[in-house]
Amino acid sequence: MSYDIAYSVKVNHRLKYARLSIGARGELVVLVPSSFDQTLIPDLVRQKKEWIAQTRKKVMADQQQSRGPSDVACELPSRLVLHSINEVWQVSYRAGRGSVVEAQVIDTNRLMISGDASKSDLVYRLLRMWLKQKASLELVPWLERLSVANGLNYSRAVIRHQKTRWGSYSGRGTVSLNMKLLFLPEHLVHHVLIHELCHTVHLNHSSSFWKLVARYDPAYMEHRVEMKRAGSYIPHFVDAG
């Protein structure tokens, strides 16, 4: 029986021990300290084959849920998987005349869309509006908690819906956060929030800036690698139209 498992290797100078990580698309990344003997990696991967298989299965299942039917068959989403806050929202539809008129929370983690659901562009727009409100309720207090805990002060926070930027900081003290952060795992959201808060001290990406980031997010280098694939967590409808 063959136990060959494809993987890539990333050297992280801050690590003391080797670590395995499964990316958003199921890819295996082996993170090792600079002093690690890389000839030991194949044995390490073989020893962890059961963990790899189970973790890949869970990651891919989560991705299928977060994409929803809209990504597979151009149907309306039936659920919203908000990894950042560990919530899964069921989405129901109630027929009505005219345009889609409202999105209403009718039970714990259940959202009802009322109106003409055949107008998918209006449904998507309504869901995006709800997500933006949800992000304001969840992400802004999260940012404030990190700000207070770490003494990184800003003037105000706003929620935006942007295609590519996860966050930004202006010289006037405004932190902008993308509502799509709701779909990312908690540790990646923490990474983005810390990144923007550190810009309150350094308005650049100098070595001093990255040293400050490392103080509050020691694994920031591997988190930056994960962020390159973070778009796979976002359901199609969020950026449709």
DSSP state of 97: S
How many alpha carbons fall within 13 Å on the CB side of residue 12? 23
Q: State the pLDDT at residue 2.
A: 34
pLDDT for the residue numbered 62: 66
Domain definitions of the chain by residue range: 8-60, 68-239
To the question of domain 68-239 being in CATH 3.30.2010.10, the answer is yes
Q: Which of 184, 189, 185, 176 lies closest to 142, judged by CA?
A: 189
Q: Please give the pLDDT value at position 111.
A: 93
CA-closest candidate to residue 166, choices 128, 207, 133, 194? 194
- Residue 140's pLDDT is what? 97
pLDDT beneath 70, residues of the chain? 1-4, 24-25, 62-74, 97-101, 241
Quote the radius of gyration of the chain (alpha carbons, Å): 20
pLDDT for residue 64? 60
The C-alpha atoms of residue 35 and residue 54 are separated, in whole angstroms, by: 29
| Cα–Cα distance for residue pair 127/114, rounded to 1 Å | 12
